[in-house]
Structure 1
């Protein structure tokens, strides 16, 4: 495809597409590089796919691939990963593993939440991988086919797609380096005096310093008002120990000597005339308290002297002769969090000296032939040199903003921007030195509506937003304000009360996105969803959105980024590793069978056959020579998946648990409590003989009835008496779910297992298990009926009884009863149980 010159008419053709960004046509066109990248919904994607893709034909398609069933660990210490400070990224080497597993060279790879384009980088790097990494992967899989895959990327955020474009575009790295150095040098000549300081007299005397030093950073401290005497308290002077760097939780008022804490004090404010807004403005009062400067290679500290204060005052009174953004911070809890301290507009997030330097750099960048990459270099340090850069006395690293927020500390380090950007030149040069001959297509739009052909994509890897973890549009606003094109957040898939988006709205948006992914993906192909969230409700929402879209989940693994975020480290309930979901789009013949044979048991077995065919046969994730138990091959999960698939497709579940378990034994081969197709079981048996080990067992966290029964199934591989089981069971029972009325061990044994004449409990024979299952279900249904006959909110109940009740009500098409009962349960019970959530959501849609 040849380069295209865009016009306003080109934008008019796609202006109504969901996610069209906010900005003038001129600025949107200026940011774009058509046809490969547009800062608006890309109208050239279909043409790109027709030129580079391969049409799908089910008659001749012979694609088969098991899910990538190894846990991945890739660190963040990589030049490309660290070049820009964008909120979240998946290491591209981790993504390469998935792309190489699922695709062949020249296959089309799609990412609908592309962020900084790591999926694109991974796809293109398959053509020229780092030699050491290539050797590692070849050792893991000698059959890898190296060669570039073709990425198609999309994101709602203009800053994200702009970064992705530059990470994947052909780069003249020498020209970029030369231009960046020139612009930095020219800007520094104009601003050098702003970052000069007289050496401290004691340092000058000891080192014979005769010239001014260069300021590395200036520490600014909030000024508080003592609630007792009303005098001002400079926080740094009162609370920080200049020798140890420790900041005390409590401190004394220098006037009345009262012991104070930050939360007890109000900020002092000062008023000034904001020339950019042409109106008076009030902002939190701060004072410069410490300067770090250098002379030659040596660094020194000093208190600001009269000349430093005079320089700062001079800068404050100057008019900046270059453009800079003055937008009001967008609506949102995060982006308006600093209104209370007077940071209401973009330019308030920078000290005047920093703002001058930035505007000068930006002015020169706009006149450069390398403008595209220089703009990303420019945005890469904006957060680090803003007022969000915390001063942390005991931390030597110069840039310490709190990731994932717009938090402004009571002590701010005003970093020298020229130091910051000088270091980034090297990082960008290293990161992008291999960008040659890449093919890609990038669009800025919502994934809720894709302008992509049906059944055209070979593989999808995506890293969607994590519910309420990060408000991307708010966090990106400072960057995007400099680009003059900002995110249209109407279709942003997040949980954000300010925008009126709770968990149901998030799930609805994610379902729409996954439905589009399902539509464009070729049948029998895979989508990998990388996901991090510490809340079960959000995790369940993602799983249900996938299933509603039509995907079948085949495997869930972990991705260890080898570094914890702020929330991960400090929140004990946070998930320490990201989850990776492997899901596939079933073949068309399964969909046909489902609809043509609706209500017949064959639909259940057709599903199981396809699902087993798409599951891994042998997994040794830890590479320790021990075969892992594949939970997806166990009876209970096969039943769950079968039921969910029928319900999500609006088709009756044709078989109950009892007959399903009997049918598994009759129709499939069983090994180690797992089920296999005939052509799979030989491979498993051979691996067992070679490894000569027993499969490893799950470590179960017993917190409710379902996990307790699973634990008992593990234990009772060897028959045991109640007396033998009870002490072990008590050791395993952790904190029971708040609303869970978990039955006694004796009750669970009676309902699920059989006792021999020696009093030992054992797992029922499959031929008899049907009777046990029927008896158990009968008892649980009676329990559920008692709940239905009661009134008011249920405060204590058996969740297994609720599941059995919902299942029977669904079979009877009594959707209203499901909705009524669900509304009597605690909200978290529904949101945190994927089966109950599935029954409730579908029933609710049918009674409204």
Structure 2
């Protein structure tokens, strides 16, 4: 159920559930004010907690609710087949091409490979001769069919992307420029028919499916070519083409796929159907969606999911939340609303760019580090306000940048939190974002704090000499017969030093460990003297 729709920085549900179980009890209320795709909320409900999820991104709110609501699977499948009967043939009409084997003029182009403005090859399906895939070179008729479809689109989003070199959003680029004219025509038709579905709940699932399939129907799907005996070549010495996927950003590769719109929708529907089956099984039927916090507080089970900003949690009462687990935006790592503009635009969702807590390279937004820190400080203050006294809050974080670490720790301390521990959130499979970003740790860290009444709200600064750091690491590793993991060393050095008002630099900790210890089987051991 966590694979129904793409979203960035999804946390492993099994690890998030461990924190929920450790720091909260059944029927207690768990809050995630940056709920994203909804992992914290779904796991809380699955573990018999009540939950509150808030996010500024409409796509995040829809994704979260999709992971919580039951659906009549029989009715869903019936509606899908009805939709197929309405649109598939009409969509097929724009992909008709001559079969290279039998000459059937009503064969279907399932995949079209573009190189710039030219078509390189077409993958053809033909019912007349039973061929499921034949690769052919295009004719001029094929090119015209894609660029000047016989049925023009009735509507498509013309929103401009926010210029941002980091996510390949160029000046003057619009959402509709991510698709061929033929794809726009068929997407427009499909969305129009979906919006005519009378059952509101089923219609929302179909709109969700439409949103989820958009990247694969766009021009951002790159071509993979592997050379070798098992893969063969295309006759030009190039490896045979394989379908890639959209990763992140708005880069249109020179060589890219245009995939049949109904095939994209059908494939995504299979994933959505599987996800909804899992939701029906994992989420208690008694888990009710509430529209107000008052209603949620009076219940024993249920959730409240609302679009909003973490800087204003006024819908939640003070001292009412038992536990918080959240993953706030990490500086400029992922500009969520900019990356979600394609989804939000197609479904006409309203989104609030002004109040997003983010650092963005988009000059028109003026979202710099100062704005980010000020808003994050307000958000942590709100989290402190709504959390019960002695309650815990866990914040996922990933950066090796010293100033970012110091800013985060001081912001938490300024809000009134006491930092209790820093632990890892290991990933079984890392995303492209996690693997490539600058100053990335091999894992996210989770900083767990506690709300305690303190007369003095401490602030910390960097200190300690390289010699002092060297001695501290040596002393710690010497006391560990079986060595230690990276996070154990960091946890010891950071958490123990925070009360002194002076902390070690994170980057120096990592580099010093490498200098004086060897890494084996996931643990550090001191090098022989």
| TM-score of the superposed pair, with normalisation by structure 2 | 0.77
Say which of 506, 510, 527 aligns to 2:372.
506
Separation in structure 2 between the aligned mates of residue 306 and residue 702 of structure 1, nearest angstrom? 59
* 1:402 alignment partner in structure 2: 247
1:486 paired to 2:315: no
Partner residue, 2:99: 199
- Counterpart of 1:161 (choices 58, 61, 65) is 61
Q: Deviation at 1:522?
A: 0.8
Which residue is 2:406 aligned to? Answer: 540
Is 1:428 matched up with 2:272?
yes
Q: Which one of the candidate residues 225, 230, 246 is aligned to 1:393?
A: 225
Q: Does structure 1 residue 640 correspond to structure 2 residue 498?
A: yes
Aligned residue among 106, 110, 135 for 1:301: 135
**Residue 728 (structure 1) shift:** 6.4
Higher strand share: 2
**CA–CA distance in structure 2, aligned partners of residues 538 and 312 of structure 1:** 48
| C-alpha deviation, 1:553, in angstroms | 1.8
The residue aligned with 1:447 is 310
> How far apart in 1 are the matches of 2:106 and 2:25?
60
Cα distance in structure 1, aligned partners of 2:146 and 2:492 = 69
**Structure 2 CA distance for partners of 1:209 and 1:553, relative to 1, 3 Å:** farther
Question: Structure 1 pair 173/728, CA: closer, same or farther in 2 (3 Å)?
Answer: same
Decide which of 23, 37, 51 is 1:116's aligned counterpart: 37
Which one is further off, 479-488 or 460-469?
Answer: 479-488
Report the 3-state secondary structure (helix = DSSP H, G, I; strand = E; otherwise coil) of the residue aligned with 2:354: helix
**Residues 1:319 and 2:168 aligned together:** no
Deviations 1:712-753 (A, max 9, x none): xxxxxxxxxxxxx9x968xxxxxxxxxxxxxxxxxxxxxxxx
1:638 shift after superposition? 3.5
Question: How many residues are treated as equivalent by the alignment?
Answer: 453
Deviation at 1:703, TM superposition (A): 4.4
Whether 1:361 and 2:190 are equivalent positions in the alignment is yes
> What is the rounded CA distance, in whole Å, between the counterparts of 1:338 and 1:290 in structure 2?
28
Q: 1:410 to 1:528 in 2, by over 3 A?
A: same
1:178 equivalenced with 2:78 (yes/no): yes
**C-alpha distance in 1, partners of 2:436/2:484?**
35
Cα distance, 1:428–1:311 mapped onto 2, change above 3 Å? same
d(CA) in 2 for partners of 1:701 and 1:84? 38
Higher CA-based Rg: 1
Secondary structure of the corresponding residue to residue 224 of structure 2: coil
- Answer whether contact 1:387 1:414 (CA < 8 A) is retained: yes
User: What is the match of residue 291 of structure 1?
Assistant: 122
SS of aligned partner of 1:384 = helix
- Segments of structure 2 that go 5 or more residues without pairing to the other structure are 227-239, 288-301, 459-480, 518-525
Match of 1:419 in 2: 263
2:220 maps to 1:220: no
Aligned to 1:344: 173
CA shift, 1:427, in A, is 1.1
Q: Distance in 1 between matches of 2:400 and 2:491?
A: 26
Residue 291 of structure 1: CA displacement? 0.8
Q: Distance in 1 between matches of 2:331 and 2:97?
A: 47
- Using the size of structure 1 for normalisation, the TM-score is 0.49
User: Contact conserved, 1:115 with 1:161, CA < 8 A, in 2?
Assistant: yes
Using a 3 Å threshold, how does the CA distance of structure 1 residues 710 and 549 change in structure 2: closer, same or farther? farther
CA displacement at 1:636 relative to structure 2: 8.2
Q: 1:565 to 1:397 in 2, by over 3 A?
A: farther
* Alpha-carbon separation, structure 2, partners of 1:480 and 1:635: 44
Indicate yes or no: 2:4 matched with 1:83: yes
Q: Distance in 2 between matches of 1:635 and 1:387?
A: 48
Query: Root-mean-square deviation (CA), in Å?
Result: 3.3
CA distance in 2, matches of 1:569, 1:639: 30
Question: Do the aligned residues in 1 keep the contact of 2:147 with 2:182 (CA within 8 Å)?
Answer: no
Matches within 5 A, 1:27-66: none
Question: Which deviates more from structure 2 when the two are superposed, residues 566-575 or residues 362-371?
Answer: 566-575
The residue aligned with 1:105 is 26
